Amino acid sequence: MVSPTVAPRLPVIAFRAFKAERELEIWGARSARGPYTKIATYRIAAMSGSLGPKLREGDLQVPEGFYRIDRFNPHSRFHLSLGLNYPNSSDRKRGQAGNLGEDIFIHGNHVSAGCMAMTDPIIEPIFKLALAAKSRGEKNIPVSVFPCRLTDSNWRKLNQEYATRPDLLAFWSSLRPGYLSFEQTRLWPRPHVDARGMYVWPDLKHSGTR
């Protein structure tokens, strides 16, 4: 874990979460246009479900995709919590209509039912950073949630392990350009969502893999 000592100099923040690695990264920048610098990396204490997006209420899956923080709850029964805007437009197109669920959080405690539990001591600096960014005018703190770090080697492993799940591979393939672009440019990815609920990247400058 890296102490978030540079936070006061970085007016905007963003989160990246990796399910397989169980890590939550916090990044900061002088403006939402970037480039971003890593502030801290925290271990996710508990995260229910498996790799793959959330498609319905009760599946205990942590969502995957591109979100934003839309709620701050300082009185959460999980100590402190930051709410994601799940379901987003991709979830609504890909998930079970009328039964998508809601209330997905990054929170304290060490239990999870589709959320990312960070423990009480760890959620405190995370919550403070997010609250400070909000107070400085950042209305939409972005959150990217990936099944894993989508490097070339991990991508090959996913293709081998999930060869019988072309639906998952197609969805992850739509996430990967955003991961690769940020790794190369440190500019926050801004996808669109197509009619199938897949992420598309009409404005992306990155090409190729690494």
List of domains in the chain: 7-146 (2.40.440.10), 152-200 (no CATH)
List 75, 110, 115, 148, catalytic entry: 115
The count of C-alpha atoms lying within 13 angstroms of the C-alpha of 89, restricted to the half-sphere facing its C-beta, is: 9
pLDDT digits 0-9 by tens, 138-175:
999 999 999 999 999 999 999 999 999 999 999 999 99
| Distance separating alpha carbons of residues 108 and 205, to the nearest angstrom | 37
Q: What is the mean pLDDT of residues 74-101?
A: 95
The count of C-alpha atoms lying within 13 angstroms of the C-alpha of 13, restricted to the half-sphere facing its C-beta, is: 26
Residue 8 confidence (pLDDT) above 70: no
| Distance separating alpha carbons of residues 140 and 125, to the nearest angstrom | 19
Q: What is the mean pLDDT of residues 26-38?
A: 94
Q: Is 9 left (phi over 0), alpha (psi -120 to 50) or beta?
A: alpha
For residue 206, which amino acid is it?
Answer: H
Q: What is the mean pLDDT of residues 166-188?
A: 97
Q: Judging by DSSP bridges, how do beta strands 192-193 and 23-29 pair with one another?
A: unpaired
Predicted confidence at residue 9, as pLDDT, reads 63
List 107, 148, 192, 206, catalytic entry: 107
Predicted confidence band of residue 10 (pLDDT cuts 50, 70, 90): confident
115 is known as an active-site residue: yes
User: Max CA-CA distance within the chain?
Assistant: 47
